[in-house]
Amino acid sequence: MLSSLRPVFAPPGVFVRHLHFHEYQSMNLLHHQFHVDAVPKCFYARNSNEVEDYARRLGGGDVVVKAQVLGGGRGRGHFKENGFQGGVHIASSPSEARIVAEQMLNKSLVTRQTGLSGRTCKGVLLCEKLPIVAEKYFAIMLDRGLGGPVMVMSKHGGMSIEEVAIEHPDAVTKIPIDVTTGLTTRQAEEAVEHLGFNGDPSAMATLKGLYRTFVGADCTMLEVNPLAELEDGRIMV
């Protein structure tokens, strides 16, 4: 979700450290450090015993089990050692969550971004299963051509922005942000309208929180895909 570069503008010859955040790290950063409320209840587990315990703490019903590797397209990937399909699964009980996680943990997930060798899944993220009615795409990225951040959004989420641009070329909207003024209320309103949230104040607060995180964590890119709309109108990252 988050890619970070510290500092964003480094003088020539200065060593620059590139950081990429796992999903569970991004969730923790958003919620605890930058106080973004629209984060689902999640737990990070490193072994199958933790998976079963956390699944019970999430209510013992449906949970989403997500392999934690740095690479997009996890849902369509496969694990190299056992052929297990998909790095994102829904489990209906703690015991099923354990079985699913055992197929992922310490295995190499191969996706369109990892290369044929894949990347080792050292942990899984367990999240509450939410009643999602729509999936959107939202990102803030540093545009070096413009010399500042740009919001990129689409009503078509759940797929890569490259796929969206090919399949729905008119559905991607970009809004540049002036770093001297930051994300204005007017721009947040415009983004909410483009995303189809109809001026929802909680949606505006979430977008402002995401921009606050982008700046505060010195990100070069912050991507939420999907940005989910729930049955009750709330949005979740």
| Residue 1: per-residue pLDDT | 59
Asked if residue 152 and residue 225 are part of one domain, the reply reads: yes
What backbone torsions phi and psi does residue 41 show, to the nearest 5 degrees? -75, 125
- pLDDT tier for residue 68 given thresholds of 50, 70 and 90: very high
| Residue 40: per-residue pLDDT | 95
Domain boundary among the residues 92, 107, 128 is at: 128
Asked if residue 167 and residue 98 are part of one domain, the reply reads: no
DSSP 85: B
Q: How many CB atoms lie within 10 A of CB 44?
A: 18
pLDDT in tens, 74-118: 999 999 999 999 999 999 999 999 999 999 999 999 998 899 999
Most confidently modeled range among 77-86, 140-149, 157-166 = 77-86
| Residue 7: per-residue pLDDT | 42
Asked if residue 110 and residue 49 are part of one domain, the reply reads: yes
- Give the mean model confidence (pLDDT) for residues 156-181: 83
Asked if residue 170 and residue 65 are part of one domain, the reply reads: no
Q: Beta partners for 205?
A: none
Q: How many CB atoms lie within 10 A of CB 33?
A: 12
Give residue 47's domain range: 42-128
Tokens standing for residue 162? 């490259």
pLDDT in tens, 117-142: 999 999 999 999 999 999 999 999 99
Greater confidence (225 vs 105) lies with 105
